[in-house]
Chains A and B, each alone.
Chain A
Amino acid sequence: MSTQATSQPGHSADVVVHGLSRWYGNVVAVNDISFTIGTGITGLLGPNGAGKSTVLHTLSGFLKPSAGTVEVLGEPAWRNPSLYRSLGLVADGEAVYPFQTGREFVLLNARLHGLRDAVQAADRAIAVVGMQEAQDRKTGGYSKGMKQRIKIAAAIVHEPQVLLLDEPFSGTDPTQRLHMMNSLEAMAKQGKTILFSSHVLEEVERLSDNVLVIINGRLAASGDFHAIRKLMIDRPHQFTIRSADNRRLASALMAEPAVSGVELAGDAISVRTQEFAAFTVAAPKVARAQNIRLLELLPTDESLESVFAYLVKR
């Protein structure tokens, strides 16, 4: 049975993926996933190696699906160069022509699209990503973040309806990231469909209301980001506590409604809870009420991978 999802920021579905699988020999990179995406910004979230780039490459026509169908704006993505009139792609990596200036690179892309006023289009795209000051420098001397921005300018120079970005914020500093995020938000407000991949939860949270979570090639969750975020927060959490009197504190904590289990483990207490926030407020209060000195209160296994693993199990 396929993993189905609908991520619908806007009204129409510009991207329709049905039963998509992609494998390399015996390795399954993407396994039977289905989703639709409309206008607005959608985040493709998952740990490294989850299959995000494979999904983006099949959507952009640079990978042939092993099974299933991929349609962008009602047309198949595979072997359909005319689709690039309405599709922009920012691939992962730093590949730009190092002998060109940023402006030459964007202008080249505008001309390859056959734009009537390529110069004006290039100027506009460079302004969107805020690269006017560095546009006349060779891209070979750009930082990773600058390369990312000039690649985005090149990808939006023809004002595509659908924009696909693979890890667009990697290597960017906070100021660059904020500028790029604002630019993408502005494009989304103009009715564009934007899908970007990231393994950083905060990036997705900041930028997109809708999210596709992909783990081990499967679609683990999709839809409204806040609902998924709540799922992540409401999952079982584990804390390690060290105090002046572990045994007495453990007894007191067992009476707390937020606590679902307590265990003495060596010189520490292991506490399980379903309510992360409530427990972090309650634990110090209990210790103070019992007049026990808290030495350490640590959430264990809060890595993004463990959050993803929990979503998969569900």
Chain B
Amino acid sequence: MIWIIFRLTLSELMGRRRLALVVLLALLPALVALAYRLGNQHDDPPQWTADTLLDGVIVTILLPLTALIFGTSALGSEIEDGTIIHLLSKPIPRIEIVVAKLGAASLLTALCVVPSAALSGFIAISGSSEQGIVTGFLIGTLLGTVAYSALFVLLSAMTNRALFIGLAYVFVWEGIVTQLFSGTRYLSVHQCCLGVAGLFSTASEKTFSPDLGGTEALIILAITVVGSVVLAVRSLNSFQVGQSS
């Protein structure tokens, strides 16, 4: 059943306008990296690649925005247009619906973000000995894709303002609050991505040193995914027609 719903969700998410927007977004980091390489200032390419490109552009902007677009649409658009009734009026365990939706949103997000991170990262850092930083970020981005998607699928199951709340989480909570108060980094998928990137990166501490430990980050990401799925299933179990929150 998961496979059927997964394929259905992929078909829904691959609308031309949505795909065009995401592909354009995904091309931006490569253009930024290319502009950097063509420029004259190359003081410390590994540092620039880690801080500005992979953290500042990929993990801070591209990853959450892409996950937000696919994650909130995977379930939210069906709830909004009423087609969710066709899935919920079947004798299917609700966890299969949530897992299928999460899988589809994660796959499409990963297909857009991970190649973009790889391409732009290797363009920016080519010729350097610290290319392991890109590998670390690719794993961090991949796991972050699942965590962000799970969070946004949950949001769309719970409220019809998922997009707005998701944007607030990305730009206000992760963009401002976690920068001001170090204790809040445990509640940030962004910080977890950096933690995982640090765990799998072979770069020196001078080049890249995340605030969160790798193991801590992995545990928090796992809790985020499992918790989001459990809460989304609970929300679908109590789904009511015309319910607005």
Which A residues have a C-beta under 8 Å from some C-beta of B? 57, 60, 62-64, 79, 81-85, 87-89, 91, 93, 95-97, 99-100, 108-109, 111-114, 154
Do A91 and B87 contact each other (CB < 8 Å), given the known contacts A99-B12, A112-B1? no
Instruction: Give the 4 A-B CB pairs with smallest separation, nearest first.
Output: A95-B82, A112-B90, A62-B241, A95-B83
Collect the chain B residues with CB atoms within 8 Å of residue A97's CB.
8, 11-12, 83, 86
Do A91 and B90 contact each other (CB < 8 Å), given the known contacts A57-B241, A62-B240, A63-B240? no
Partner of B4, one of A62, A64, A85, A112: A112
Collect the chain A residues with CB atoms within 8 Å of residue B239's CB.
62
Collect the chain A residues with CB atoms within 8 Å of residue B93's CB.
81
Q: Is the CB of A64 within 8 A of B92?
A: no
Partner of A81, one of B11, B85, B91, B240: B91
Collect the chain A residues with CB atoms within 8 Å of residue B92's CB.
81, 112
A117 to chain B, nearest CB (A): 16
Chain A, residue nearest B11 (CB):
A99
Please tell me the number of chain B residues within 8 Å of chain A, measured between CB atoms: 25
Do A79 and B8 contact each other (CB < 8 Å), given the known contacts A89-B89, A113-B90? no
Given contacts A62-B239, A89-B85, A112-B90, 19 further A-B contacts (CB under 8 A): A57-B241, A62-B89, A79-B237, A81-B90, A84-B89, A84-B90, A84-B91, A95-B81, A96-B83, A96-B86, A97-B11, A97-B12, A99-B12, A108-B4, A111-B4, A112-B86, A113-B90, A114-B1, A154-B86
Q: How far is the CA of A314 from the CA of B21 in the complex (A)?
A: 61
| B226 located at the interface, meaning its Cβ lies under 8 Å from any Cβ of chain A in the complex | no
A209 to chain B, nearest CB (A): 27
Q: Is the CB of B238 within 8 A of A91?
A: no
Chain B 118-133 interface 0/1 with A at a Cβ cutoff of 8 Å (1 = within): 0000000000000000
Q: Is the CB of A93 within 8 A of B12?
A: no
Q: Is the CB of A81 within 8 A of B94?
A: yes
| B88 located at the interface, meaning its Cβ lies under 8 Å from any Cβ of chain A in the complex | yes
Q: Is the CB of B241 within 8 A of A108?
A: no
Collect the chain A residues with CB atoms within 8 Å of residue B81's CB.
95
A152 to chain B, nearest CB (A): 13
Collect the chain A residues with CB atoms within 8 Å of residue B241's CB.
57, 62-63, 91
Q: Is the CB of B82 within 8 A of A91?
A: yes
Give me 22 A-to-B residue pairs in the complex whose CB atoms sit less than 8 angstroms apart, sorted by A's number. A60-B89, A63-B242, A79-B237, A81-B92, A83-B91, A87-B89, A89-B85, A89-B89, A91-B85, A95-B81, A95-B83, A95-B86, A96-B83, A97-B83, A99-B11, A100-B11, A108-B4, A108-B86, A109-B86, A112-B4, A112-B90, A113-B90
Chain A, residue nearest B239 (CB):
A62
Partner of B238, one of A57, A60, A79, A112: A79
Collect the chain B residues with CB atoms within 8 Å of residue A154's CB.
86
A21 to chain B, nearest CB (A): 15
Collect the chain B residues with CB atoms within 8 Å of residue A96's CB.
83, 86
Collect the chain B residues with CB atoms within 8 Å of residue A60's CB.
89
Q: How far is the CA of A303 from the CA of B84 in the complex (A)?
A: 36
A58 to chain B, nearest CB (A): 10
